[in-house]
Amino acid sequence: MDASEEAARGLSEIEDFLYREAHLQAAQRRVADFIARMPELTQEQTSDIEHWYVEEQTHVAQIVTQHIEDSISVAEAQFRTRMTQWRRGALAAVALLAVTMMGLCSAVILGRSI
């Protein structure tokens, strides 16, 4: 792996980390806002709710990420299939065109030499 590939991989990992951290912080802010509206909760209840909510949001984020990855994989497979079909069709058209041109050139050459 060369330096540019390593740098790209490193930047992707940093981006992923920052994305996860931003979502975790947003989840923590949402749950803190929710808990602030319920002053009757004990410290243990507050801690349980915070822990559960952040874990739930992490789980949901993983499910969404997996769904996106699966969708991208399906789209890439469909694209590869279409491109393979297009290439085959283009190759067949070029081959047919080449054979036709060779036939025409042969006809012209043979027609003049007679």
Q: Which of 50, 10, 19, 20 is nearest to 34 (CA)?
A: 50
pLDDT at 51 over 70: yes
Task: Tell me what pLDDT residue 27 has.
Answer: 92
Angle separating helix axes 43-113 and 3-36, nearest 10 degrees: 140
Which structural domain range is residue 21 located in?
Answer: 3-113
pLDDT at 57 over 80: yes
Q: In total, how many domains does the chain have?
A: 1
pLDDT at 43 over 90: yes
Task: Tell me what pLDDT residue 113 has.
Answer: 64
1 or 111: which leads in pLDDT? 111
Using DSSP, state whether 29 is helix, strand or coil. helix
Q: Percent of the chain, pLDDT > 70?
A: 97
Query: How far is Cα 26 from Cα 110, in angstroms, rounded to an integer?
Result: 80
